Structure 1
């Protein structure tokens, strides 16, 4: 494939991915308005986010199989059509359940497009240029969620929440027609039987674990034991799923080839990505609660506080990718992990002051550090795999990213709640208690950031890593 055609294909997939991931966080600021319209409690309305994550966790593991048996254009069209139908349904929704159905369809489309983008890039881009392209992908995966709440706040300042979906629908239609014109099939299609039992085990296992992690606040605050039992069942089912995939290797092929985890570079790089992703998603959930509950800033200002960091990461990511192509992962990821640690621990000391300038600076450090970690680790991890495992590697990475995002959010929110309740018992005011709880949450995030630093120390450039036997 000539370079012009390859660039157009990647640009189309990156744009589609950006639109869909932007949509994932667009609704967070609109939840109060939806709750008011449909007379919902917060725990019911939260299913618009939880349902989205659950669907992603269920669908992504199947994408490794889908990419082997269907051509690229068919997968793209299916993904975008699911997203468009879901967006249209949600925009016209007369009630909450219809909005939820729309979000589930949107999530199914999003779950298909992200692994497809990574697999196509690994297939058609030369190893010497992958860092540059992965830097652009990082803009979609890491920056779009940061911009989402800000864009949502601006739209809601002059329109109803329905317009969030109408705007996404217009963008999705443009992406759809661009894809029909530009997309060509990449790679070879094979006829492989689908193991239904693996699909069921994957859906119940990953879905159960994401639900349990998303519901951890109910365990902490109300002593609800159901998420605990669901989480344990999810872990058991995933263990059975992994054993079955290893067994299917010797027969007609696994749904998700977990042998990718035997590649040292892939596993270490993935651990760094998952830790960093859990931190950045958890911080993005805790920070708005602190700003609005303790510092008493508006929704729009809350979005603007995190915007500089997101924009900086988006601006830097393509350059970080080019530097990776020249110098490899460690000269970028090690300083990046140090900056990530510095930014997260800075939050711990800045939070009591409530100074927005220091909070913005701390968030910029976190975003910059994550940018320096994510692109090199993603490129080094996936690039270490043999070509036949590209689709499975991207499916494993994206599936576990969903778990990391849910776990990071659940853990930091739980720590924030415990810290806040402890402070309230000592007799301080609610804003002070929330500030203390936020400090506890960021301290836990700081420990995770240190583990990210440890992981990146051992990741090597794929050219220097042992190549798995084909």
Structure 2
């Protein structure tokens, strides 16, 4: 578990670590913002394609085979990115890293479900929250520090020794815990899954690029193709005796609600992680390091509270935790709809930390309770469903946040007496930021409504 958690932390950290380096990369490689955005889009797109296949991989290959392959790819991807002479090679390194996470993340969940009894999973998945929530939250802060003092390449150089240590620990202690059944591979399901999930993630990830937004031909075509193939994929899985991704897991009501909770949490998390740094840097004029430091306490609070939340869940279940988390999330997001250029940084830090705490209270109990309801044969499929929807939610959250922010900026400029006045730029961005948090508040309200349908899954204690 040490090797799995540490390797997962580094992988999830790298998912957001480059966000604050995009400006430097644009200058160094002489590329536009649209091109630089592919470092994030390509990562999400690869995960969106590969994660749905993880249920199949877990049934075809042993735990050790998947772990060693994932770690070797992670080291190789980091090395390629660190040595990248140009943007294209850096993008290839990022895609290789995403392939690694597409293997390691589902493997991590599946291993926990197999080796830990259900009544102890809350605490264990609480520790796993350090990987899923804290790593992306602290990515901008730690990378901002490295960029200011060493350079963006060190984001990758410093991760390689830790990945090698994980590999050595895994080679010594990793055991094969999953059953290899080698089900028949349905090529049509493979193709429709790739086109469906890949098309949807690509569409949402492309909304913020270039002109047109939601009405651009690229977004419309990729979304249409993705939805068409996703419908085909779902219909085929429901008819197959041994589906590639067993959607029957969603017939378990607590798993279905838990999956929706995770979807909402991921939308809110990615929205906040995109909007708040832009507000701090472009709206208030802070540098990347200072903006990262403002958001750092939220990541630290999550690191402390994730294991604690898991223990509380093991004792009390989700009914007392999740609604409280959504109430806290809503209060914070509604407060953020009123931020201005005069809002104190201390208040932003407190609000962000409270938001991260609320997400922690919702995410881990919902996920653990949902997975506890599944029978063992559905563990790989349940993991794949949850992780796939998280990637789609990340793309959706980012796209909607950017779209609403852009719409708010345009509205402000239309009302401005002198749109060419440089002072109007930060003010327009702040109004766009307020728009994004209104949407997030609505999403939190939906989550709070769903939280009242949660019931604790009672499991028999295992000896």
State the TM-score bracket (shorter-chain normalisation): over 0.9
Shift of 1:352: 5.2
Shift of 1:220: 4.6
Question: Please, which of 157, 173, 197 is the counterpart of residue 166 of structure 1?
Answer: 157
**2:229 alignment partner in structure 1:** 237
> Separation in 1 of the partners of 2:428 and 2:287?
20
Question: Please, which of 90, 95, 110 is the counterpart of residue 99 of structure 1?
Answer: 90
1:89 is paired with a residue of what secondary structure? Answer: helix
> Separation in 1 of the partners of 2:102 and 2:213?
31
Shift of 1:444: 0.4
> Separation in 2 of the partners of 1:45 and 1:67?
33
Is this contact kept in 2: 1:420–1:434, CA < 8 A? yes
Is this contact kept in 2: 1:350–1:358, CA < 8 A? no
Shift of 1:204: 1.0
> Separation in 1 of the partners of 2:283 and 2:41?
25
Is this contact kept in 2: 1:279–1:445, CA < 8 A? yes
**1:441 alignment partner in structure 2:** 436
> Separation in 2 of the partners of 1:353 and 1:239?
48
Is this contact kept in 1: 2:283–2:341, CA < 8 A? no
1:135 aligns with 2:126: yes
Shift of 1:345: 0.9
Q: After superposition, give the CA deviation of every residue in 1:143-183 in whole Å (9 maximum; x if it has no partner).
A: 10011111111111121221111111121111111111111
Question: Please, which of 233, 236, 247 is the counterpart of residue 239 of structure 2?
Answer: 247
Question: Please, which of 24, 31, 40 is the counterpart of residue 31 of structure 2?
Answer: 40
**1:291 alignment partner in structure 2:** 280
Is this contact kept in 2: 1:416–1:440, CA < 8 A? yes
> Separation in 2 of the partners of 1:155 and 1:352?
28
> Separation in 2 of the partners of 1:291 and 1:423?
18
Shift of 1:221: 5.0
> Separation in 2 of the partners of 1:351 and 1:173?
45
Question: Please, which of 352, 358, 362 is the counterpart of residue 347 of structure 2?
Answer: 358
Is this contact kept in 2: 1:131–1:379, CA < 8 A? yes
Shift of 1:124: 1.1
Structure 2: where are the runs of 5+ without partners?
418-423
Shift of 1:456: 1.5
Q: 223-232 vs 320-329, which deviates more? A: 223-232
Structure 1: where are the runs of 5+ without partners?
1-9, 466-470
Number of matched pairs: 453
Q: After superposition, give the CA deviation of every residue in 1:19-41 in whole Å (9 maximum; x if it has no partner).
A: 11111111111111221121101
1:192 aligns with 2:187: no
* Aligned 1:4-153 pairs, distance under 5 A: 10-153=1-144
* Aligned 1:278-357 pairs, distance under 5 A: 278-351=267-340, 353-357=342-346
TM-score (norm 2): 0.95
> Separation in 2 of the partners of 1:220 and 1:227?
9
**Runs of at least 4 residues off by over 6 Å:** none
Is this contact kept in 1: 2:119–2:459, CA < 8 A? no
**1:267 alignment partner in structure 2:** 256
**1:462 alignment partner in structure 2:** 457
1:208 aligns with 2:203: no
Question: Please, which of 268, 276, 279 is the counterpart of residue 265 of structure 2?
Answer: 276
Shift of 1:217: 2.4
Is this contact kept in 2: 1:276–1:370, CA < 8 A? yes
Shift of 1:224: 2.2
RMSD after superposition: 1.4
Shift of 1:203: 1.0
1:385 aligns with 2:374: yes
1:254 is paired with a residue of what secondary structure? Answer: coil
**1:6 alignment partner in structure 2:** none
> Separation in 2 of the partners of 1:404 and 1:210?
9
How has the CA–CA distance of structure 1 residues 352 and 91 changed in structure 2, closer, same or farther, with 3 Å as cutoff?
Answer: closer
> Separation in 2 of the partners of 1:205 and 1:340?
32
Is this contact kept in 2: 1:352–1:436, CA < 8 A? no
> Separation in 2 of the partners of 1:227 and 1:332?
38
Q: After superposition, give the CA deviation of every residue in 1:245-289 in whole Å (9 maximum; x if it has no partner).
A: 1122x2xx1111111111111111111111011101111101111
1:397 aligns with 2:386: yes
> Separation in 1 of the partners of 2:176 and 2:459?
31
**1:227 alignment partner in structure 2:** 219
> Separation in 1 of the partners of 2:261 and 2:151?
39
